[in-house]
Structure 1
Amino acid sequence: MSEPAARTPTEGNDATGDAFESARTATYAVLAACWRDPTERLVEVANDGELSALFGPLESLELHALRSEYARLFIGPAGPPCPPYESVYRDKKSDDEFGEVLGPATAAVERWYQAFGVEHRPEQRDLPDHVATELEFCAYLAEHGRDDRLDQFRDEHLTRWVGDLCDRVEAETRSPFYAALARTTREVVAD
Structure 2
Amino acid sequence: MDDAMVSERSASEAHAARIEGEVFSILSRCLLRPVLGIARDVQEGKVTGRLEDLLDRGSSDAVSSALDDIRFVEHELAKIDLESARLALEVEYNRLFVGPGHVLAPPYESYWESEARQEGFGRLRTAVERDVARAYAACGLEVPRPLAELPDHMAIELEFLSYMAVKEAEAWEEGDGREAARLSAAAEEFAREHPRTWAGAFSERVREGARMRFYPALSSLAALLV
The TM tier, using the shorter chain, reads: 0.7 to 0.9
Asked if 1:95 corresponds to 2:132, the answer is: no
Correspondence list, 1:1-191, <5 A: 14-52=10-48, 53=52, 55-57=66-68, 58=71, 59-60=73-74, 61=77, 62-92=85-115, 93-98=117-122, 100-145=123-168, 146-189=183-226
Once the 2 structures are TM-superposed, how far is the Cα of residue 121 of structure 1 from its aligned partner? 2.8
Q: Distance in 2 between matches of 1:184 and 1:72?
A: 20
Tell me the amino acid that sits aligned with residue 97 of structure 1: F
Q: Distance in 2 between matches of 1:125 and 1:43?
A: 18
Structure with higher Rg: it is 2
Note if contact 2:137-2:143 (Cα within 8 Å) is conserved in structure 1.
Answer: no
Note if contact 2:136-2:142 (Cα within 8 Å) is conserved in structure 1.
Answer: yes
Note if contact 1:91-1:104 (Cα within 8 Å) is conserved in structure 2.
Answer: no
Q: Distance in 2 between matches of 1:87 and 1:179?
A: 20
Note if contact 2:96-2:105 (Cα within 8 Å) is conserved in structure 1.
Answer: yes
Q: 3-state SS of the aligned residue for 2:211?
A: coil
Gap runs ≥5 in structure 2? 1-5, 56-65, 78-84, 169-182
Q: Distance in 2 between matches of 1:125 and 1:44?
A: 21
Note if contact 2:200-2:220 (Cα within 8 Å) is conserved in structure 1.
Answer: no
Per-residue CA deviations over 1:31-78 (Å, capped at 9, x if unaligned) read 110110011111222222222216423223311110001011111112
Q: Distance in 1 between matches of 2:11 and 2:39?
A: 32
Q: Distance in 2 between matches of 1:25 and 1:184?
A: 14
- CA RMSD of superposed structures (Å): 1.7
Q: 3-state SS of the aligned residue for 2:46?
A: coil
Once the 2 structures are TM-superposed, how far is the Cα of residue 123 of structure 1 from its aligned partner? 4.9
Tell me the amino acid that sits aligned with residue 77 of structure 1: P
Aligned residues between the structures: 178
Tell me the amino acid that sits aligned with residue 34 of structure 1: C
Gap runs ≥5 in structure 1? 1-10
Q: Distance in 2 between matches of 1:39 and 1:45?
A: 10
Note if contact 1:34-1:181 (Cα within 8 Å) is conserved in structure 2.
Answer: yes
Q: Distance in 2 between matches of 1:79 and 1:113?
A: 30
Q: Which residue number in structure 2 is paired with residue 4 of structure 1?
A: none
Q: Distance in 1 between matches of 2:144 and 2:36?
A: 21
After TM superposition, the structure 1 stretch with the greater mean CA deviation from structure 2, 59-68 or 48-57, is 48-57
| TM-score of the superposed pair, with normalisation by structure 1 | 0.86
